[in-house]
Amino acid sequence: MSDTRHATRGASTDAPRGRGAPRRRPFWTLGRTDALTGYLFIAPQLLGVIVFVLFPVGLAIWYSLNEWNIFTGDMTFVGGANYEAALNDPQLPSVLGATAVFSGGVVVLNIALGLVLAVMLNRRFKGVTLFRTLFFSPVVVSVVAWTLVWGFLLQDNGGINGALAQIGVDGPNWLQSGPTAMIAVTFTQVVRSVGINMVLFLAALQGVPGELYEAARLDGASSRKVFTRITLPLISPTLMLTAVITIVGALQSFAQIAVLTEGGPGLSTTVLVFYVFQQAFSFNDIGYGSTLALMLLTFVMVLTILQWQLRRKWVFYED
Amino acid sequence: MRTDQPAAPSKAGPVLRRIALYVALIVMALPFVVPTLWMITSSFKPLNEIFASPPSFFSDAPTAAAYAEAFDFQPFARQYFNSVYIALLVTATTMVVSALAGYAFARIRFPGRNLLFIVVLIGLLVPSEVTIVPLFQMFKQAGLVNTHWPLILVTALAAPCVLATFIMRQFFIALPVELEEAARLDGLGRFGIWWRICVPLAKPALSAVAILTFLASWNLYLEPTVYLTSPELFTLPQALTRFTDAYGGEMWNTQLAAATMTVVPVLVVFLIAQRQFVESLAHSGLKG
């Protein structure tokens, strides 16, 4: 983010502070009232974040150090016991594996498909607006409705296998085996959300100055070279940002998993968010659930910081 | 979205290439379009046709019975109203809160501004699954479990609102400062400048905020599942998963009818306003 300090009036008319200030100056100078207005303007947002995000995170840390008996309501301080339990949890490696496969798959497919669609639709031909609308439309379809419908289509006797049978292919029972269930949740998630990335990429592509293409063509560059040497570097800030938004979004995909597979079969699609929910609300293990939730938070933070660092190193330009 | 520039390096090639492009696009569009279409047409099928083989779009004996059943089986009208009023209330609140905060972070100088902005941005990074356990305990203490308050307050002030504040800040930073200076010379105070000058100019950013916030609230699933237990308080996503009769029998067509009623109005609004919709998202400052 660029921090543009537009000269606001307040600063320049600020009263000279401290001992030497003339006595007659009123306390409420223009600068001070302006600053107060600033605080008042941000107050609802800041309080919202403190009360509904930061304080709960603090509580989650406290919960993770306790064992909570939900029936008696007693909390007993157990120190690092929940963290130890996480290390010894035989299910956790599988959950983390599923989380990595799902989030990784979603990010790679989402960025790649989003880019392909944006490039294909970044030209003039009849019906281009229609196609953009079609590819974007799942974004406005309710997640649960979208997932429910795919659930129908992916049944053994559902529409997809029915269509495959028409061309002589015997489709698998998608949701009943681990690998195909993982493919199903990843695919439906990508199709639902790729429209946003497509639109952001389209906007970025249209921001690339036409003269650059012109010049490259005069120099005899192939279209592949033009794409890798001009287009990609110029839209790299967008790529980075969407990658992070997409992966953070994928790490939080609860509804899709809960509705389509409920984490199954077995643990094959139990990603971390779903596991957190199960531990905390199905098994009422608040301490352990909070420990896992903090693990999720750590992943998100690390990824964001990593993105920030990589961005400095790789991104071609910064505004 | 405009296409007025010669962006793609390839020229309008031979007809064959054009046809290949159309075929590729149509095939790629299938998974984007077919589920929604199938949902709509299948909601008019009798139950036994949902899994008919070979699969079809249209029923031989179309019926709207499933629609009536959706309202009989659950207080669906009430649930619909819940989702709509919560989404509208959340959207309106977020628009005001984010326009105020975004403006202040972009334009007003006050000590600690950058630090406080980072504090607010943290709200965007914390997944709601991390805070839901403590929030549930907090709302339980406050006696607000099984009410709509948690859905409204948390959505209107936490993560989706922080995204909105970010979008508004990006917009106000790019707004020429001269406009405000003129208004200030005319004697307008900060609030007046914000309300009379800046907010009206911020319509594109505000519409992006409205769209994103509305969809975020409309799609909430984890929160209602955790907070709400009475069917008449349910929101639509939650209600959609409850169409199973007492004996565990499926009510597929009823579920599809309810899903169609959930999806189609939003889809229609999108199709009518899709240009503004897509454009406002594209220029929402999320470009990076």
DSSP letter for each residue of B20-53: HHHHHHHHHHHHHHHHHHHHHHHTTS-GGGTT-S
pLDDT tens, position by position, A189-233: 999 999 989 998 998 888 888 888 888 888 888 888 888 888 888
**A-chain residues within 8 Å CB-CB of B40?**
none
pLDDT tens, position by position, B212-261: 899 999 999 999 999 999 999 999 999 998 887 766 667 888 899 999 99
- Mean per-residue pLDDT of chain B: 87
Bond before B46 cis per omega within 30 degrees = no
pLDDT at B154 over 80: yes
Q: Which residue does chain A place closest to B166, by CA atoms?
A: A1
Q: Residue B130 and residue A296: Cβ atoms within 8 Å? A: yes
Q: Where are the alpha helices (DSSP H) in A207-285?
A: 210-218, 223-226, 232-251, 255-260, 272-277
C-alpha to C-alpha distance for A286 and A279, rounded to whole angstroms: 7
Q: Which residues are within 8 A (CB) of B147 and not within 5 positions of it... i.e. 6 or more apart?
A: B227, B233
Half-sphere exposure of B242 (CA within 13 A, CB side): 20
Q: Residue A49 and residue B158: Cβ atoms within 8 Å? A: yes
Amino acid of residue A228: T
C-alpha to C-alpha distance for B98 and A42, rounded to whole angstroms: 8
**B-chain residues within 8 Å CB-CB of A148?**
240-241, 255-256, 259
pLDDT tens, position by position, A157-181: 888 888 888 888 888 889 888 899 9
Local structure of A127: helix, strand or coil: coil
Q: Residue B219 and residue A196: Cβ atoms within 8 Å? A: no
- Residue carrying structure tokens 């990074």: B125
Residue-wise pLDDT tens for chain A (319 aa)?
A: 344 444 444 444 444 455 555 566 777 777 888 889 999 999 999 999 999 999 999 999 999 998 887 677 778 888 888 898 888 889 999 999 999 999 999 999 999 999 999 999 988 888 888 999 999 999 999 999 999 999 989 988 888 888 888 888 888 889 888 899 999 999 999 999 999 899 989 988 888 888 888 888 888 888 888 888 888 888 887 888 788 888 888 888 899 999 999 887 888 899 999 999 999 888 888 899 999 999 999 988 888 888 778 777 665 554 4
The interface pTM score, or ipTM, of the predicted complex is: 0.86
Q: Distances from the Cα of A223 to the Cαs of A229, B5, B56, in angstroms?
A: 10, 17, 42
**A-chain residues within 8 Å CB-CB of B21?**
120, 125
Q: Which residue does chain A place closest to B274, by CA atoms?
A: A133
Half-sphere exposure of B98 (CA within 13 A, CB side): 34
Of A135-139, A154-158, B2-6, B130-134, which gets the smallest average pLDDT? B2-6
pLDDT at residue A184, rounded to an integer = 94
Residues 257-316 (A) with a CB less than 8 A from some CB of B: 258-259, 273, 276-277, 280-281, 286, 289-290, 293-294, 296-297, 300-301, 304
Chain centre distance of CA B101: 21
Bond before A16 cis per omega within 30 degrees = no
C-alpha to C-alpha distance for A43 and A51, rounded to whole angstroms: 12
Range A28-33 contact pairs with CB under 8 angstroms and sequence separation of 24 or more: A31/B109
Q: Which residues pair with A98 in a beta bridge?
A: none
Measured between CB atoms, which of A38, A199, A286 is closest to B108? A38
Residues 10-29 (A) with a CB less than 8 A from some CB of B: 10-11
Nearest to A102 by CA among A240, A270, A305, A279: A270
**B-chain residues within 8 Å CB-CB of A138?**
32, 35-36
C-alpha to C-alpha distance for A253 and A291, rounded to whole angstroms: 19
C-alpha to C-alpha distance for B280 and B205, rounded to whole angstroms: 7
**What pTM, to 2 d.p., does this model score?**
0.85
